Amino acid sequence: MSSVSKRFLRYVKIDTQSDHDSSTIPTTENQWELARLLEKELEQLGLQDVKLNQKCFVTATLPANVDKKLPVIGFLAHMDTSPDFSGKNVKPQVIENYDGGDISLNKAKKMSLSPQEFPTLKHYVGQTLITTDGSTLLGADDKAGLAEIMTALEYMLEHPEFKHGTIKVAFTPDEETGKGNEYFDIKSFAADFAYTLDGGPVGELEYENFNADRADITVKGKSVHPGDAKGVLVNSQIVFMEFFNLLPAAQRPEYTQGREGFFHLWRMTKASVEETQAQLLIRDHDSKKFKHKQEMLLKCAEFINHKYGPGTVSVDLVESYRNMKAVIQPVMHIVETAKQAMQELGIKPVIKPIRGGTDGARLSYMGLPTPNLFAGGHNFHGPYEYIPVQSMEKAVQVILKIIELYSQK
């Protein structure tokens, strides 16, 4: 087993599932366990200024070993796993020399990872895969990123002949809830720019993501005994369905791809005759189309309130993140250098917009331009998640090559 895969297997066994409904940072206490382990490992490697702050951010510095002035580069990964699927008692399976066939994940559940359902598996014949046991997610999002950054640091410390400028690293809580980086101290981190290791398959390089809002919807009804309901009862659940169905069905996530945005009925937190509460996610890469979606949602509420009476539906738009492209474009050298690093390593860069968000989006608007690099995983946030060991090794190589290229500038 390689150094990066050993680290990864160690990290995924720690439950760091975050919680959308928690008001604390971190949103779950278990994230502290991994944070303390990473703090200890950074100290053992010999990094300087290793800190674990009161909000569960782990940061450290690898000082430059050259005299010339070079940019300070940051590398980041998040510690939490998705709140939407269990990350408890992860039991990773290691499949060596994958033969291209079905991989049994859980015989009792009759669950298999099949190339018929997941054709990308065919790209990894002969490689070593790490999968779930079918009962939890794996946690490659983003414990692969943690392992890759730590392994790159280890290499540089063991090879003093490898020249580099000052390197900053940060391991953050609650990326999956979108809450963590609100508390990230960009000023004290003091990097000129950074990269998140939080992407999917080999070659992914992303500097464009969705504009994103959450819409908190409340629908008020009128509850009376159904035997005396005629002309009086207003069922908030049915009114909510009417409201939701005013939105274009073709703009739901299951019917969209590429740069197409969507309205997503994420969850319903309360449903009764008297009151229904739900949360919609609004997404679009294009800022004008995104604004149109916001306006459309408000117009639908206006229609329902005209039909059933003022205050029947209320819509509260909560900003999640914005497209980082606008912030990255003035410093495109950070994308071009990452692209060059991949090409020099024989990796074809796959530059495409993220159909989601990343810590880099918020960090970029906070003043730290941060595109996203691949970490190597597939099928995140569920029991079919897997990652090839060789993909993690390539991510380590890309980190080192980016650093090398900047040391030569």
Q: Where are the domains of the chain?
A: 3-208+323-408, 211-321
pLDDT mean values, one per 10 residues, the chain (409 residues) = 94 96 94 98 98 97 96 98 95 97 94 96 98 97 98 97 98 92 93 96 96 97 92 96 98 96 97 98 96 98 97 96 94 98 98 86 94 97 97 98 96
pLDDT at 180 (0 to 100): 85
pLDDT at residue number 359: 85
Cα separation of 216 and 218, whole Å? 7
Dist CA 317 CA 253 (whole Å): 19
Residue numbers annotated as active site: 80, 175
* pTM for the structure as a whole: 0.89
Q: What is the C-alpha to C-alpha distance for residues 181 and 178, in angstroms, rounded to an integer?
A: 7
3-208+323-408, CATH topology level? Aminopeptidase (3.40.630)
- Supply the pLDDT for residue 264: 98
DSSP code of 222? B
Fold of 211-321: Alpha-Beta Plaits (3.30.70)
76 neighbors 170 (Cβ within 8 angstroms): yes
The predicted structure's pLDDT at residue 181 = 86
